[in-house]
Amino acid sequence: MNILSRNPLSTTIAVLSLSATILGIHANQATASLGGNATPPPTTIANSADGLCATPYTIKTGDTLSLIAKRSTGNIFDYVNIVRVTNDVAKSDKRFAPINNINVIRVGQMLCLAKAKAAPAWAYNGDAGPAKWGDLSSEFAACKTGQEQSPIDLSKANLRDISNISFNYQPSKINILNNGHTIQVNYDEGSYIVVDGKRYDLLQYHFHAPSEHSVNGKLADAEVHFVHKAADGTLAVVGVLLVQGPDNASLKTVWDNLPTTQGPVKTLTATTNAKELIPPSQTTYRYNGSLTIPPCSEGVKWHVMTQSMQISAAQIKAFTNLFPVSNRPIQPLFSRTLDLDSTP
């Protein structure tokens, strides 16, 4: 599962109980939410953490850390650095109020926007492949030492009567990008799922081929991940396995516009409806897992649909021509519980 900003190869992904993740706030949404104001000129703060150059910014009504970070650096993950730098500067500059809780930011509070540092490059093969992710950076330690990593083999599950996911998906403009590792479609605001009474907003969906999860040891031809985030920062991902068959008509417009090179989001006039990519059967596998890319942060609620959808050989080839391999190997289950819904 990818949770990526505009350019994940050149920005910092710091570990923060996950949550940053989040994924999916579009640049145009950020500009609108912030009133379209120009970014303030940078000001060097000599005593900032790690010698970072930073830009002072005063919170306005409607701002959020993610939007501010996106507006400042193009990297929503960078709010971890905002917290660190702001708290460091606050020790000597009374204009900056310390941040004790990232979810409670006061209007009028001054923040110090850190410049993003270069993130370690990672890949799906070679010296920077999955087996080496945990050694590339201390920020990626969970990739090597985590006990709740994803993906897993979906087998030997405990049958349980689990409440179904309530899908509340609306059409969205196609905000598409090639992020260097996969094709991602950022979703317009307003679509969400409800699981056990908790709402998770849909942020984006993206693809892997072959699939990341396996069923009884067998990988599917591809997999699509729908990434959601709750108000408290918890991530929930719905995974749908894709098997070779006829053309998937619901993917046609996205596939007709696959970006062949890495670059920023492009918004098309055409729309997509994620609901059309969800299978009719509502039974799922559920377990606690992680991001499937660095930093492999844990705390992700996984829901993999038991019924697959179809995708044609031509559609698979169009994707794998761009990304020959885009799946992380299966991870150990360890002491986790894997549940399988026993009723539709």
- Predicted confidence (pLDDT) at residue 26 exceeds the cutoff of 80: no
- Predicted confidence (pLDDT) at residue 288 exceeds the cutoff of 70: yes
The alpha carbon of 279 is separated from its chain's Cα centroid by a whole number of angstroms, namely: 22
107-119 burial: b if 16+ Cβ within 10 Å, else e? eebbbbbbbbeeb
Question: With the C-alpha atoms ordered 270, 71, 225, 341, is the resulting torsion angle positive or negative?
Answer: negative
Which backbone phi and psi does 308 adopt, to 5 degrees? Answer: -90, 170
- Of 212, 213, 202, 150, the residue nearest 182 (C-alpha): 212
pLDDT of residue 118: 64
Greater confidence (289 vs 44) lies with 289
- Predicted confidence (pLDDT) at residue 3 exceeds the cutoff of 80: no
pLDDT tens figures, 107-128: 888 888 776 566 689 999 999 9
pLDDT of residue 125: 95
pLDDT tens figures, 195-245: 999 999 999 999 999 999 999 999 999 999 999 999 988 999 999 999 999
- Predicted confidence (pLDDT) at residue 154 exceeds the cutoff of 60: yes
Biggest CA–CA distance in the chain, Å, is 64
pLDDT of residue 120: 82
Question: With the C-alpha atoms ordered 38, 43, 47, 53, is the resulting torsion angle positive or negative?
Answer: positive
All structural domains of the chain? 43-114 (3.10.350), 126-341 (3.10.200.10)
Give the chain's mean pLDDT.
82
Peptide bond into 210 cis (omega under 30): yes
- Predicted confidence (pLDDT) at residue 48 exceeds the cutoff of 50: no
Q: In percent, how much of the chain has pLDDT > 90?
A: 62
pLDDT of residue 56: 81
DSSP 49: G
Going from the C-alpha of 1 to that of each of 15, 111, 292, the distances in angstroms are 16, 31, 5
Q: Which segment of 53-67, 85-99, 146-160 scores lowest on mean pLDDT?
A: 53-67
DSSP string covering 121-185, please? P--SSGGGSGGGHHHH-GGGTHHHH-SS-S--EE-SPEEE--PPPEEE---EEEEEEE-SSSEEE
pTM: predicted TM-score of the whole model, two decimal places: 0.73
Peptide bond into 151 cis (omega under 30): yes
Greater confidence (319 vs 20) lies with 319
What is the arithmetic mean of pLDDT over 328-341? 98
- Predicted confidence (pLDDT) at residue 25 exceeds the cutoff of 70: no
- Predicted confidence (pLDDT) at residue 7 exceeds the cutoff of 80: no
Question: What does the alpha-carbon distance between residue 119 and residue 141 come to, in Å, rounded to a whole number?
Answer: 14
Q: Per-residue confidence at 252, pLDDT binned at 50, 70, 90?
A: very high
Q: Which residues contact 247 (CB under 8 A, 6 or more apart)?
A: 311, 312, 314, 315
